[in-house]
Amino acid sequence: MAAYPASEPVDDAGGHSVRADTLPGMSIDVPVAEVYRLANSLRGAAGDAEEIAVRLQDTAPVGSGLLGDTTAAVANSWLRLDGALQEPHGRASAE
């Protein structure tokens, strides 16, 4: 089955304009350990996809575990930020 371009934008980019609304501010509490688990799951899925792609003909490369690595980097930055925020006032952080 060949892929053909959609006859009209699927994201409504060419559709009528809609009034922009601003959502109220919010925060989402996700423990860092869960973000690391997500990163590991993404890395594993990328590895599985690479193995499957090798067995198929004419497939585009899946890519590396870049999404998993990026997710882990987010968790690392959260830990660094938490450490910086919890430093006693007037004491330099080892950053």
Q: Which residue has the tokens 């990328």?
A: 46
pLDDT digits (tens, 9 = 90+) for 22-64: 878 888 888 999 999 999 999 999 888 888 888 887 777 767 7
> Phi-psi bin for 58: left (phi > 0), alpha (psi -120 to 50), beta?
left
d(CA 8, CA 5): 8
Q: Does 79 score more than 80 pLDDT?
A: yes
pTM (whole model) above 0.75: no
